[in-house]
Amino acid sequence: AETYPEVYLSLATILAEEGQMEEAFAYLEEIEPDSNWYVASLLVKADLYQMEGLADVAREKLVEAARLSDDPIIQLGLAEIDLELERYQEAIQEYAQLDNREILEATGISTYQRIGFAYANLGKFEAAVPFLEKALEIEFDDQIAYELATLLSDQEEFQKALIYYKQIDTLSPDFEGYEYGYALALQAENDREKALGIAKQGIQKNPFDAQLKLLASQLSYELHQPEQAEAYLLEAKEVADDLEEIALRLTTLYLEQERFDQVLAWQNEEVETVVTRWNIARALAALEKTEEAVSAYQELYEDLKDNPEFLEAYVYLLREAGDVTKAREVANQYLAIVPDDVQMQTLYDSL
């Protein structure tokens, strides 16, 4: 084996596959730095350390290998591990030294995509976009198109984002989960009907996507289809992990439609969102459950004492409950925020 160090490499690889890491490393250590196989041994070591979850140590081996060899695949390995270790600046420099087409043909990896991804993770979105666009020009890839569309949407460049969402929709309609972002971008461009169509398409593919159902409900509401808006909320309620958003929207919808009893059905749930709890308090007041309503408003007071709409409703409720002292106190607070409300001033003077 001293004459044939490649035998050590083969043995190390076999042992590693069988989980005998210590023995594998022992064979690799037998290959001396002056051997023609030393760089290959460093690469195998890097692989083994990577398998063991020791990416930092794997990187050290790749750095040494890259110093000893100008093989672009080694440089790529180093860039990939730097990307994984979130050493984005180093990764960008390493990818930039490689020929994108050559690497793409050899490995299927686009260095442009990787550079774009690294820039995005550094928060340098404007630098990221052209690299992702270049990657897509060379070869369509649904993941890259999605990264680009998401990035552009985050920068509120919805028209450009829609170009890439449309590409995914046309060329790769089985791509997982693009419909939510696509529908949001369409909504931002006020194309609500198309947005709702895309949301429905996503729901058909994944009936357990509560986020999409919430969006479909919102779009239905904006399109003046309250029954459909409610139906999607009730469907979302069945699959969502967190009911807070659903409770808020359903109680708001029921309150608008004066379906006060259905608002109160949420009293038994432990809702935390302040506006949802206020919706319940308003429903209690509307159903003339004055004592319960006053108690609910009192609980909400600390959270909403700077909200004039809340204070105004609270004043009228307190007056109805006969608590004139408290009503005057809250009316005074309201007038400090809205001093030109003549009606409230008159009420305050009459209390």
In the chain, pLDDT over 70 holds for what percent of residues? Answer: 99
Name the residue type at position 72.
P
Note whether 318 and 347 are within 8 A (CB). no
CA 287 to chain CA centroid, Å, is 40
Query: Which is more confident, 60 or 44?
Result: 60
| pLDDT given at position 119 | 97
The pair of three-digit structure tokens given for residue 287, joined into one six-digit string: 């159903």
Instruction: Read off the pLDDT of residues 10-46 as tens digits, 9 standing for 90 and up.
Output: 777 787 777 777 778 777 887 878 788 888 888 888 8
Average pLDDT over residues 137-157: 95
| pLDDT given at position 1 | 46
pLDDT band at 2 (very low <50, low <70, confident <90, very high): low
Q: Please compute Rg for the chain using Cα positions.
A: 31
pLDDT band at 3 (very low <50, low <70, confident <90, very high): low
> What's the rounded Cα separation, in Å, for the pair 17 and 23?
11
Note whether 75 and 109 are within 8 A (CB). no
Sign of the alpha-carbon dihedral angle for 329, 330, 336, 341: negative
| pLDDT given at position 229 | 98
- Burial label, 306 (beta-carbon count in 10 A; 0-12, 13-18, 19+): exposed
| pLDDT given at position 174 | 96
Which 3 state secondary structure label does DSSP give 210?
helix
Average pLDDT over residues 124-137: 95
pLDDT band at 91 (very low <50, low <70, confident <90, very high): very high
Residues sharing a CB contact under 8 Å with residue 310, sequence separation 6 or more, in sequence order: 278, 297, 300, 304
> What's the rounded Cα separation, in Å, for the pair 148 and 132?
6
Note whether 116 and 129 are within 8 A (CB). yes
Note whether 82 and 94 are within 8 A (CB). yes
pTM: 0.80
Among 205, 208, 203, 163, smallest CA distance to 182 is for 163
Residue with tokens 């209390």: 351
On the question of pLDDT at 47 being above 80, the answer is yes
Q: Which domains does the chain have, with CATH numbers?
A: 140-218 (1.25.40.10)
> What's the rounded Cα separation, in Å, for the pair 95 and 83?
10
Instruction: Read off the pLDDT of residues 256-274 as tens digits, 9 standing for 90 and up.
Output: 999 999 999 999 888 999 9
pLDDT band at 234 (very low <50, low <70, confident <90, very high): very high
Instruction: Read off the pLDDT of residues 300-345 as tens digits, 9 standing for 90 and up.
Output: 999 999 999 999 999 999 999 999 999 999 999 999 999 999 999 9
Average pLDDT, the chain: 93
Cα–Cα separations (whole angstroms), residue 96 to 83, 92, 100, 261: 13, 6, 8, 64
